[in-house]
Amino acid sequence: MCRDSIYCEIEGDIRIEANSSTIFVAKVSSPQSWTVAPCPRKGRTGVKKWQVTTFEQEQSIPMCNQHHRHPAILFSTGGHARNYYHSYADVMFPLYLTSYEFQGEVQFLPTDYDHWWIKRFRQILNKLTNHNVFNIDGQTLMVHCYTKMRIGLKFYKPLVSHPRQSLPSMQTFRSLLREVYSLKREKAQRGRPRLMIIDRKFTRILTNAGEVSRAAAEVGFEVVVVEPEYTKEVSRSVKAINTCDVLVGVHGAGLTNMLYLPNDAVLVEIVPFGSVELFAKVFDESSAGMNLRYLEYKTAANESSLVQKYSTDLPFMRDPESLVPSNKGIISDIRNQNVTVDLGRFKETLVKALELLSH
């Protein structure tokens, strides 16, 4: 029933008692119990733990107030779900994978209920379920009963479907997103391609974004520069992103907008100087399944704001692939560094992007 502490598949006489965060399941054999935190990432804070307990029919257990004929999926909108990247990687795409088999005939029961998150992704949720989405935590006076249920979400890797699984896939998920937001472009264009630069304002700032914009225009792109606030408003931004053929930005949540690029588009990730562990290649790994091309621009020490604070003779400045320093202050500085790319070197990356689009 429960393969680990984050995911269960159960069938039978299922009764949800929100008041005690307990899910009772009828079973003939000896009683068992599991503690489940319904979030794909283990150890996340802000995720309520639910108790899954089997019972024998003659036991005294909560009586059903409401019976449901369709299955249910209980998942958390807590943890880091408000982060733009994690909202898709930890919740929305795993929810799509988990609910796909039910083809809309499933009820979503979000725990750690976040009204803001539900409202933000309402259009996508409405495509995944034909039934109302309700806050299961608030159902303290009711006992909802089902015959089939998933607790937690299926997960392989962030924004990557299982390689041995043909359906559902990241491509079918992107097709669903295009349908949800009525996006017109399915394929990148070859004419005068459009390039969007995500201009971060607080950390990992591309300090010469204006010069990069002019360099891209010289290479042959039509250039659009957007601020982070724009990329965070899903309904306002996805149509504009879909009109672009190249997305450029420093490593960060804004690159999640690659989901809305047309097929064969190019993602250019500017990777800040420092340890690989701090800037994992999540966008590189997920781009192939999205039918996108990926280019990485690795920042050198002289392109980083770290040189204003640390000597280039320090071990981690000489060897960016070395282990992350134990000093939390240094780790924070590496994570939050600003970047001033070398225009000559970056132009070479832009030319590569243009070549990829021409093929």
- Whose tokens are 């079973």? That residue is 27
- Whose tokens are 């990069």? That residue is 212
Least confident of 217-226, 251-260, 280-289, 320-329: 320-329
DSSP state of 177: H
Binning pLDDT at 50, 70 and 90, where does residue 325 land?
low
Binning pLDDT at 50, 70 and 90, where does residue 246 land?
very high
Binning pLDDT at 50, 70 and 90, where does residue 233 land?
low
> Which positions ≥6 away from 357 have C-beta within 8 Å?
188, 189, 190, 193, 245, 246, 264, 265, 266
Least confident of 186-195, 214-223, 238-247: 186-195
Q: What is the pLDDT of residue 117?
A: 94
Least confident of 18-32, 85-99, 219-233: 219-233
Residues facing 108 on adjacent strands: 73
Is 321 or 88 the better-scoring residue by pLDDT?
88
Tell me how crowded residue 132 is: count the other CB atoms within 10 A of its CB.
7
Q: What is the pLDDT of residue 228?
A: 64
CATH of segment(s) 194-358: 3.40.50
Q: Return the structure tokens found at 344.
A: 């000559």
DSSP state of 57: T
Tell me how crowded residue 320 is: count the other CB atoms within 10 A of its CB.
21
Give the β-pairing of 194-198 and 33-36.
unpaired
Residue 132 has pLDDT above 90, yes or no: yes
Binning pLDDT at 50, 70 and 90, where does residue 230 land?
low
Q: How far apart are CA 150 and CA 3, in angstroms?
A: 12
Q: How far is CA 32 from CA 51, 150, 255, 271, 341, in A?
A: 10, 17, 44, 48, 58
Least confident of 15-19, 47-51, 74-78, 164-168: 164-168
Is 314 or 214 the better-scoring residue by pLDDT?
214
Q: How far apart are CA 174 and CA 268, in angstroms?
A: 19
Q: What is the pLDDT of residue 229?
A: 58
Is 321 or 347 the better-scoring residue by pLDDT?
347
Residue 281 has pLDDT above 90, yes or no: no
- What is the percent of the chain with per-residue pLDDT over 90, rounded to a whole number? 79
> Which positions ≥6 away from 233 have C-beta within 8 Å?
none
Domain locations along the chain = 8-155, 194-358
Residue 37 has pLDDT above 90, yes or no: yes
Instruction: For the chain, give the number of residues.
Output: 359
Residue 115 has pLDDT above 80, yes or no: yes
Q: How far is CA 110 from CA 19, 81, 95, 132, 176, in A?
A: 15, 12, 11, 11, 21
Over residues 38-59, the mean pLDDT reads 89
Q: What is the pLDDT of residue 56?
A: 79
Q: What is the pLDDT of residue 28?
A: 63
Instruction: Report pLDDT digits (tens) over 189-198.
Output: 878 999 999 9
Q: What is the pLDDT of residue 232?
A: 61
User: At residue 303, what are phi and psi to the nearest 5 degrees?
Assistant: -100, 0
Residue 29 has pLDDT above 80, yes or no: no
Over residues 151-161, the mean pLDDT reads 95
319 contacts 188 by C-beta, under 8 angstroms: no
- Whose tokens are 């024998």? That residue is 56
Q: What is the pLDDT of residue 49?
A: 97
Residue 258 has pLDDT above 70, yes or no: yes
Q: What is the pLDDT of residue 277?
A: 74
- Of 273, 243, 237, 275, the residue nearest 256 (C-alpha): 237
Q: What is the pLDDT of residue 4?
A: 87
